[in-house]
Amino acid sequence: MAYAKPLPTITKEDRPFWEAAKQHRFTLPKCKGCGHIFFPPYISCPKCLSFDKEWIEASGRGKVWGYIEMRQPYIKSFEADLPYNVVLVQLDEGPLMYTNVVGISNEKIRPDLRLEAFFEDVTKEITLIKFKPA
Protein backbone atom coordinates (compact mmCIF):
# COMPACT_ATOMS: atom_id res chain seq x y z
CA MET A 1 0.00 0.00 0.00
CA ALA A 2 1.34 3.43 -0.95
CA TYR A 3 2.22 5.92 1.78
CA ALA A 4 -0.65 8.44 1.79
CA LYS A 5 0.57 11.01 4.33
CA PRO A 6 2.42 14.24 3.50
CA LEU A 7 6.12 13.83 2.74
CA PRO A 8 8.94 16.36 2.98
CA THR A 9 10.08 18.19 -0.12
CA ILE A 10 13.81 17.67 -0.23
CA THR A 11 15.86 20.79 -0.90
CA LYS A 12 19.57 21.34 -1.50
CA GLU A 13 19.87 22.60 2.09
CA ASP A 14 18.42 19.47 3.71
CA ARG A 15 19.35 16.77 1.16
CA PRO A 16 22.30 15.50 3.31
CA PHE A 17 19.92 15.09 6.28
CA TRP A 18 17.45 12.97 4.27
CA GLU A 19 20.20 10.94 2.58
CA ALA A 20 21.65 10.06 5.99
CA ALA A 21 18.19 9.21 7.35
CA LYS A 22 17.70 6.80 4.45
CA GLN A 23 20.85 5.01 5.71
CA HIS A 24 19.39 5.08 9.26
CA ARG A 25 21.92 7.67 10.36
CA PHE A 26 21.03 10.86 12.25
CA THR A 27 23.06 13.87 11.13
CA LEU A 28 22.90 17.57 11.93
CA PRO A 29 24.51 20.64 10.36
CA LYS A 30 27.31 22.28 12.33
CA CYS A 31 28.67 25.72 11.56
CA LYS A 32 32.40 25.69 10.82
CA GLY A 33 32.57 29.38 11.79
CA CYS A 34 31.13 29.36 15.31
CA GLY A 35 30.54 25.66 16.06
CA HIS A 36 26.76 26.05 16.43
CA ILE A 37 24.77 22.86 15.77
CA PHE A 38 21.34 23.64 14.34
CA PHE A 39 18.10 22.24 12.96
CA PRO A 40 16.37 22.58 10.59
CA PRO A 41 19.26 22.69 8.11
CA TYR A 42 19.15 26.27 6.87
CA ILE A 43 21.47 27.44 4.12
CA SER A 44 23.40 29.51 6.67
CA CYS A 45 24.06 29.31 10.39
CA PRO A 46 21.17 30.93 12.32
CA LYS A 47 23.65 32.15 14.95
CA CYS A 48 26.47 33.81 12.94
CA LEU A 49 25.04 33.62 9.37
CA SER A 50 28.10 31.77 8.02
CA PHE A 51 27.49 29.63 4.95
CA ASP A 52 30.36 27.31 5.90
CA LYS A 53 28.87 24.20 7.51
CA GLU A 54 29.54 20.51 7.83
CA TRP A 55 27.34 17.52 8.64
CA ILE A 56 28.08 15.67 11.87
CA GLU A 57 26.87 12.34 13.19
CA ALA A 58 24.38 13.09 15.95
CA SER A 59 23.58 10.89 18.93
CA GLY A 60 19.95 10.36 17.96
CA ARG A 61 19.04 11.00 21.58
CA GLY A 62 17.08 13.71 23.32
CA LYS A 63 14.20 14.46 25.63
CA VAL A 64 10.63 15.65 25.35
CA TRP A 65 10.57 19.44 25.56
CA GLY A 66 6.84 19.73 24.88
CA TYR A 67 4.01 17.82 23.23
CA ILE A 68 0.40 17.86 22.15
CA GLU A 69 -2.14 15.19 21.38
CA MET A 70 -4.05 15.69 18.14
CA ARG A 71 -7.69 14.68 18.51
CA GLN A 72 -9.11 16.37 15.42
CA PRO A 73 -8.29 15.38 11.82
CA TYR A 74 -6.18 18.44 10.93
CA ILE A 75 -4.84 16.47 7.94
CA LYS A 76 -7.25 13.92 6.45
CA SER A 77 -4.61 11.21 5.91
CA PHE A 78 -3.87 11.15 9.67
CA GLU A 79 -7.53 10.55 10.62
CA ALA A 80 -7.04 6.81 11.22
CA ASP A 81 -4.19 7.60 13.64
CA LEU A 82 -6.27 9.80 15.97
CA PRO A 83 -5.40 10.54 18.65
CA TYR A 84 -1.71 10.97 17.75
CA ASN A 85 1.12 12.96 19.28
CA VAL A 86 3.28 15.78 17.97
CA VAL A 87 6.37 16.16 20.11
CA LEU A 88 9.07 18.82 20.31
CA VAL A 89 12.28 16.95 21.13
CA GLN A 90 15.32 18.73 22.50
CA LEU A 91 18.21 16.84 20.97
CA ASP A 92 21.25 16.17 23.16
CA GLU A 93 23.22 18.32 20.69
CA GLY A 94 20.94 21.28 21.47
CA PRO A 95 18.48 21.85 18.59
CA LEU A 96 14.74 21.29 18.85
CA MET A 97 12.95 18.99 16.40
CA TYR A 98 9.25 18.31 15.83
CA THR A 99 8.43 14.63 15.41
CA ASN A 100 6.23 11.81 16.71
CA VAL A 101 6.95 9.42 19.55
CA VAL A 102 6.18 5.76 18.87
CA GLY A 103 6.16 2.70 21.11
CA ILE A 104 4.40 4.40 24.02
CA SER A 105 0.85 5.51 24.74
CA ASN A 106 0.17 9.23 24.52
CA GLU A 107 -0.75 9.25 28.21
CA LYS A 108 2.81 8.26 29.15
CA ILE A 109 4.52 11.06 27.22
CA ARG A 110 5.80 13.73 29.59
CA PRO A 111 8.42 16.51 29.66
CA ASP A 112 12.01 15.30 30.06
CA LEU A 113 11.15 11.74 28.92
CA ARG A 114 14.37 10.38 27.40
CA LEU A 115 14.07 9.37 23.75
CA GLU A 116 16.10 7.81 20.96
CA ALA A 117 15.72 8.03 17.19
CA PHE A 118 13.63 5.49 15.32
CA PHE A 119 13.87 5.32 11.51
CA GLU A 120 10.70 4.62 9.53
CA ASP A 121 11.21 3.80 5.84
CA VAL A 122 7.96 5.16 4.39
CA THR A 123 8.88 5.15 0.68
CA LYS A 124 11.86 4.09 -1.41
CA GLU A 125 13.11 7.69 -1.26
CA ILE A 126 12.07 8.89 2.23
CA THR A 127 12.89 7.66 5.71
CA LEU A 128 11.26 9.63 8.50
CA ILE A 129 12.96 10.05 11.85
CA LYS A 130 10.63 9.52 14.77
CA PHE A 131 11.51 8.82 18.38
CA LYS A 132 10.83 6.07 20.91
CA PRO A 133 11.48 5.85 24.66
CA ALA A 134 15.17 5.30 25.41
Phi, psi of 38 (to 5 degrees): -140, 165
What pLDDT, on the 0 to 100 scale, is given for residue 125?
93
What pLDDT, on the 0 to 100 scale, is given for residue 2?
87
The side-by-side arrangement of strands in the sheet containing 114-121 is 96-99, 84-91, 61-70, 114-121, 127-133
What pLDDT, on the 0 to 100 scale, is given for residue 59?
98
Q: Which residue positions in the chain have pLDDT lower than 50?
A: none
What pLDDT, on the 0 to 100 scale, is given for residue 1?
74
